Structure 1
Amino acid sequence: MSPDSLVIENAGKVYREYASEIQRFARWFGARIDPLSERWVLRHISFKVAAGEAVGVIGQNGAGKSTLLKMIAGTTLPNEGRVSTNGRVSALLELGLGFNPELTGRENARHAAGLMGVGGEEIDRLIPEIEAFAEIGDYFDQSMRTYSSGMQMRVAFSVATAIRPDVLIVDEALAVGDAYFVHKCFQRIQQFRDTGTTLLIVSHDPTVVQALCDRAILLDKGRLMLDGLPQEVFDYYNALIAEKENSGVRTKEADGSVGTESGSGEAVFEQLDILDAQGQPVEYVEVGRPVSLRAKVRAISPVDRLVFGYMIRDRLGQPIYGTNTHHTGQALEDVEEGEAIEFNVCFPANLGTGSYSVSVALSSTETHLVRNYQWKDLALVFTVANVDHPVFVGLAHIPARIEITRQATGRLTGSA
Structure 2
Amino acid sequence: MVAIAVDGLGKAFKHYPTRWARLAEWILPGNRPHHIPKWVLQDINFTIDPGEAVGIVGVNGAGKSTLLKLITGTLQPSTGTVQTHGRLAAMLELGMGFHPDFTGRQNVFMAGQLMGLGIDEIKDLLPEIEKFADIGDYIDQPVRIYSSGMQMRLAFSAATAVRPDTLIIDEAMAVGDAYFQAKCFQRIARFKQQGTTLLLVSHSVGDIVKHCERAILLKNGHVEQDGSSRQVTNRYLDELFGKSPCPEVQGSCQFGCAGTQMLNGDDDVFHTRPGYCVEEHRWGQGGGAILDYLIVAQGEHYPSRIESNAQTDFYFKVRFDNDFSSVVPGFLIKTLEGIFLYGTNSFIANEGRSHLAAEAGNIKVFRFSLPMALNEGHYLISFGISSGDPLTNLEPIERRYDSVMIHVGRTIQFWGLVDLTASFETIEQQRQLNGHTCN
Please tell me the TM-score bracket, short chain as reference.
0.5 to 0.7
**Conservation of the 8 A alpha-carbon contact between 1:51 and 1:197:** yes
Q: Does 1:263 align with 2:261?
A: no
Structure 1 stretches lacking a partner, 5+ long:
248-261, 273-293, 350-360, 379-394, 409-416
Alignment of 1:91-106 (within 5 A): 91-106=90-105
SS where residue 270 of structure 1 aligns? coil
The whole-number CA distance in structure 2 between the counterparts of 1:41 and 1:89 is: 24
Q: Does 1:305 align with 2:292?
A: yes
How far 1:24 moved relative to its partner?
A: 5.5
How far 1:229 moved relative to its partner?
A: 1.2
Residues 21-45 of structure 1: CA deviation (Å, up to 9, x unaligned): 6835987xxx464132221000011
How far 1:107 moved relative to its partner?
A: 0.4
SS where residue 306 of structure 1 aligns? strand
Structure 2 stretches lacking a partner, 5+ long:
267-290, 315-330, 333-342, 347-355, 374-380, 385-399, 410-418, 433-439
Alignment of 1:15-414 (within 5 A): 15-17=13-15, 19-20=21-22, 23=25, 31=30, 33-243=32-242, 262-271=244-253, 296-297=257-258, 298-299=260-261, 301-302=264-265, 304-310=291-297, 319-321=307-309, 325=314, 326-327=331-332, 329=344, 398-402=422-426
Q: Does 1:10 align with 2:46?
A: no
For 1:302, give the aligned amino acid: G
**Conservation of the 8 A alpha-carbon contact between 1:10 and 1:44:** yes
How far 1:345 moved relative to its partner?
A: 5.1
How far 1:146 moved relative to its partner?
A: 1.4
Tell me the percent identity. 39
How far 1:113 moved relative to its partner?
A: 0.7
Q: TM-score by structure 2 length?
A: 0.65
**Conservation of the 8 A alpha-carbon contact between 1:296 and 1:343:** no
For 1:399, give the aligned amino acid: S
For 1:39, give the aligned amino acid: K
Distance 1:198 1:226, change over 3 A: same
**Conservation of the 8 A alpha-carbon contact between 1:11 and 1:80:** yes
The whole-number CA distance in structure 2 between the counterparts of 1:139 and 1:37 is: 46
What's the C-alpha RMSD, in Å, of the aligned pairs?
4.0
**Conservation of the 8 A alpha-carbon contact between 1:54 and 1:213:** yes
Distance 1:77 1:24, change over 3 A: farther
The whole-number CA distance in structure 2 between the counterparts of 1:207 and 1:107 is: 35
SS where residue 268 of structure 1 aligns? coil
Q: TM-score by structure 1 length?
A: 0.68
The whole-number CA distance in structure 2 between the counterparts of 1:157 and 1:295 is: 54
SS where residue 47 of structure 1 aligns? strand
How far 1:405 moved relative to its partner?
A: 7.5
For 1:264, give the aligned amino acid: C
**Conservation of the 8 A alpha-carbon contact between 1:227 and 1:233:** yes
SS where residue 309 of structure 2 aligns? strand
How far 1:48 moved relative to its partner?
A: 0.8
